[in-house]
């Protein structure tokens, strides 16, 4: 197994046998790592054949290899080189799985998920004082009332998808049959209406956000 210095030296060699061998070794390492990651009960790839998953893993390993070579100057030697390199391919894999998870989000799904999205805001990991919890419930009730009375269905679906569930903009735009720019405009108009109603209640967006901060 190469040391950190040996990896760096080999990967910065001029084209030749030493560089080719180092690139192949690193690619093989990345491929093994990402295959293990993808095999760990990833529901996003349900229905994929083993060949399809391996093909995805090969693409991810190759892309990560290129990124690693371009980022060699940022390696500080604070960990093993392979540990540092591992993060590149896993980050790419995680991003791809997120993309798969949100593919083909439908308008009906965005609309149906609205109640659960609001309820999730009240789920706490730690203890919350009763007064703070009551404040949060009151703000959520107000927000839901504003959304239900001020926004149309498409604005509501966009708001829930992007800001509450964190779906990618492109997927929400596709679900609503909009371009990315049109989705920006839809969200801008929705937030403008919400802001106006909050101001009528002598509240700001910062007031709401502060109630949900630890």
Fill in the DSSP letter of residue 44.
G
> Residue 69's pLDDT is what?
92
* pTM listed for this prediction: 0.53
What spatial distance separates the first Cα and last Cα of the chain, rounded to whole Å? 45
- The full set of domain ranges for the chain reads 4-101, 107-211
> Residue 214's pLDDT is what?
58
Number of H-type helices and E-type strands within the chain = 11, 0
Maximum Cα interatomic distance, the chain, rounded to a whole number of Å: 71
The answer to whether the 4-101 and 107-211 domains have the same CATH topology is no
> Residue 188's pLDDT is what?
93
> Residue 211's pLDDT is what?
74
Place of tokens 């967006």: 205
Domain 107-211 belongs in CATH node 3.40.50.970: no
Q: To 5 degrees, how large is the angle CA 95–CA 102–CA 125?
A: 80
80: left (phi over 0), alpha (psi -120 to 50) or beta: beta
What is the mean pLDDT, run by run of 10 residues, along the chain of 214 residues?
89 88 94 91 75 92 94 91 94 80 60 68 63 84 88 87 80 85 93 91 83 67
CATH placement of domain 4-101 = 1.10.1740
């Amino acid at each position: 197994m190469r040391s950190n210095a040996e990896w760096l030296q080999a990967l910065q060699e001029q084209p030749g046998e030493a560089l080719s061998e180092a690139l192949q070794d690193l690619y093989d390492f990345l491929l093994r790592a990402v295959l293990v990651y993808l095999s760990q009960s990833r529901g996003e790839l349900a229905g994929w054949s083993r060949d399809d998953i391996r093909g995805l893993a090969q693409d991810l390993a190759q892309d990560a290899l290129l990124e690693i070579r371009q980022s060699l100057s940022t390696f500080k030697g604070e960990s093993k080189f392979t540990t540092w390199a591992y993060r590149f391919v896993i980050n790419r894999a995680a991003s791809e799985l997120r993309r798969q998870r949100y593919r083909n989000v439908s308008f009906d799904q965005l609309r149906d998920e609205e109640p659960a999205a609001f309820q999730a805001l009240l789920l706490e990991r730690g203890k919350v004082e009763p007064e703070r919890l009551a404040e949060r419930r009151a703000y959520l009730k107000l927000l839901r009332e504003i959304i239900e009375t001020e926004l149309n269905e498409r604005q509501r679906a966009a708001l829930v998808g992007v800001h509450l569930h964190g779906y990618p903009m492109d997927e929400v735009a596709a679900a609503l049959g909009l371009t990315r720019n049109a989705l920006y405009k839809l969200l801008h108009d929705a937030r403008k209406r919400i802001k106006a109603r909050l101001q009528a209640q002598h509240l700001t967006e910062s007031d709401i956000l502060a109630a949900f901060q630890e």
